[in-house]
Amino acid sequence: MLLRLAYLTVTNAFAALRLLPMSDRDKDAEILALRHQIMVLKRQLGADARVRFAPEGRVFLAALLTSLPREVLHRLRLVVRPDTVLRWHRDLVRQRHARTCRPKRRGRPPTVRSIRIVIARLVRENPSWSIGGGTAS
């Protein structure tokens, strides 16, 4: 998934660079053409059809669109609902937080070396403390 996300990021960066020399009029025409294509696809798919995004597509779209205010998101012509994009972003943040907060090792953490040395010395100096040997007082 990481490789596909990197590929998607690079190709979209080149697509953004392609927009630099374009005039505003050309960009507006491309935006209108893309919006029209989205409307046609929605009409062909029907109201109950769902578009499936690959995980890297979700990541890219969520990262791209979450900086926009919610009102703007609702005005955009998207293949998915704006609330879906926001949910994808929340899931990404939750997964990232879960990865960073997860303990590195399972079980009890190792005892510090200096404490092990003190315990060994106490056991040597007090043979009646050993497990199973000596009497309980």
Average of pLDDT values for 55-80? 84
**Is residue 63 situated within a structural domain?**
yes
pLDDT in tens, 71-123: 888 888 888 888 888 898 888 888 877 777 776 777 788 889 999 999 899 98
Average of pLDDT values for 27-54? 80
**Is residue 108 situated within a structural domain?**
no
**Is residue 112 situated within a structural domain?**
no
Higher-scoring residue by pLDDT: 102, 24: 24
Question: 46 in the Ramachandran plot: left (φ > 0), alpha (ψ -120 to 50) or beta?
Answer: left
Q: What is the pTM of this model?
A: 0.51
Cα distances from 61 to residues 12, 32, 74, 78, 137, in angstroms, run 11, 19, 15, 10, 70
Q: How many domains does the chain have?
A: 1
**Is residue 39 situated within a structural domain?**
yes
Residue 15, H or E segment: helix 2-19
> Which pLDDT does position 133 carry in this prediction?
54
Q: Which of 42-46, 58-62, 113-117, 122-126 has the lowest mean pLDDT?
A: 42-46
> Which pLDDT does position 100 carry in this prediction?
74
**Is residue 107 situated within a structural domain?**
no
The Cα 91–Cα 61 span in angstroms is 13
Q: Structural domain of residue 73, as residue ranges?
A: 2-101
